[in-house]
Structure 1
């Protein structure tokens, strides 16, 4: 199935270009240590602001660090944060969305109020607050991404759960005495996999942009 999808994408010129670029970026981040012999934090004052050359393909920065190496290792950090933070946000959002959609009305209202309250905070304000509390670190970035993404995930899952809650197969399972946990696990969760996959594919670039913006402002991961 996956290879069939890849072949279908490769038949389209734009799809082939996009898939190739994404593959190159991901592989260069994963195999960064094999593509360069420099350490990303190695300082060489004698080579400060060196122009691009065979030794330093992208030159060096104000501390003499190889820029290509830092780009490759920076891509690894961004990829790690994007995948890890998205996965954690998705798990939390799915759980809260299922509870809000299938639980009692009062709990749904409380969770919606919390989602709206968290979503109302600007990303920069959240970043400033968390960095002040925990310092610029990987955990602070992941926590910011979670707080930004979880409300959106939970709302979408809640909507899907409310729709499926009144479906005939769910009502039949409930009438046969199936527990709420079994209904959520067997009859509802498998039917929301499609929207979940779409959410993941759309939000990973957003997470990379958030991490890059935080790093640019001095709130990101310190290398």
Structure 2
């Protein structure tokens, strides 16, 4: 009797097929699926994309110049020609809000980009090298976080003078400490992992290990924290402009328009209501995106 030389292949079980399908799907595709399942995150993303479009094409979307004054229209309410009415000096409020969107996103994204860059650099160096480098950079982070953020911003903005560039730079260089702490904690854990030790034993330089092995593994939490930080940055810019230390008038900004309407809240309430609603909606949108990214990039999630 002849015996088979090899056993027939086993039938694939549903679990094996599911496992192969999970491995075959790229990580970013699975992350997008999880993000897409969060309706609030999608809603926030759609709103932010709309704001980006408004900011990019503000010159074409604004019906009037943001600094043009209409005689005799001071504080007038909404009408067919002017949907949101006029501000306290007779400028079209809708046009000023449209151009203020550009300023808000420049500050929000620009300052957050600076903060993330500095925070990742400081946190990665502190966590990877340890010793006196970690001690020095950690004390720097602790010192920066010891100051009240708004008070530090007001002091620096008053010294440097109000402008868009000053606002972006000052907010970015005073809000990186939180990112540095998160990155440092992750790097302290990652530098003891086997793949990092193997790269080090293979003769890889510290710069190569940081750039190719450690930083890619800390980007997930940083992206989530950065998306949440954009909303906080917009609030800080609005606070500085509200106090007259942000973007220099007559250039429109949401905080500046809100400050203009403060003295007329009882007589011309629409001046303060419109920018206030925009600030709230924008901060909520970025928070929704941050929550969606946190769930999408969580390695414990599957599918």
TM-score, normalised with respect to structure 2: 0.68
TM-score by length of 1: 0.90
1:4 Cα offset (Å): 8.4
Q: Please state if 1:196 is matched with 2:226.
A: no
**Correspondence list, 1:1-223, <5 A:** 5=32, 9=36, 13-222=39-248, 223=251
Q: Relative to structure 2, which stretch is displaced further, 147-156 or 14-23?
A: 14-23
SS at 1:46 equivalent: coil
Unaligned runs of 5+ in 1: none
Q: Do the aligned residues in 2 keep the contact of 1:141 with 1:221 (CA within 8 Å)?
A: yes
Larger radius of gyration: 2
CA–CA distance in structure 2, aligned partners of residues 131 and 4 of structure 1: 40
Greater Cα shift, 151-160 or 47-56: 47-56
Q: Check whether the contact 2:237–2:246 (CA below 8 A) recurs between aligned residues.
A: yes
> In 1, distance between residues paired with 2:143 and 2:111?
21
Higher relative contact order, structure no. (Cα contacts within 8 Å, ≥ 6 residues apart): 2
Instruction: Summarize deviations over 1:49-98 as a string: whole Å, max 9, x none.
Output: 22211221101112111100111111110001111111111111111111
Alpha-carbon distance in 2 for matches of 1:6, 1:59: 42
- The structure richer in helix per residue is 1
| TM-aligned CA deviation for residue 35 of structure 1 | 1.4
How far residue 8 of structure 1 moved from its aligned partner, in angstroms, is 6.0
Question: What CA distance in whole angstroms lies between the structure 1 residues aligned with 2:29 and 2:246?
Answer: 34
SS in 2 for 1:47: coil
CA distance in 2 between counterparts of 1:3 and 1:61 reads 48
CA distance in 2, matches of 1:16, 1:139: 31
| C-alpha deviation, 1:20, in angstroms | 3.5
Q: State how many pairs are aligned.
A: 222
Q: Shift of the alpha carbon at 1:189?
A: 1.0
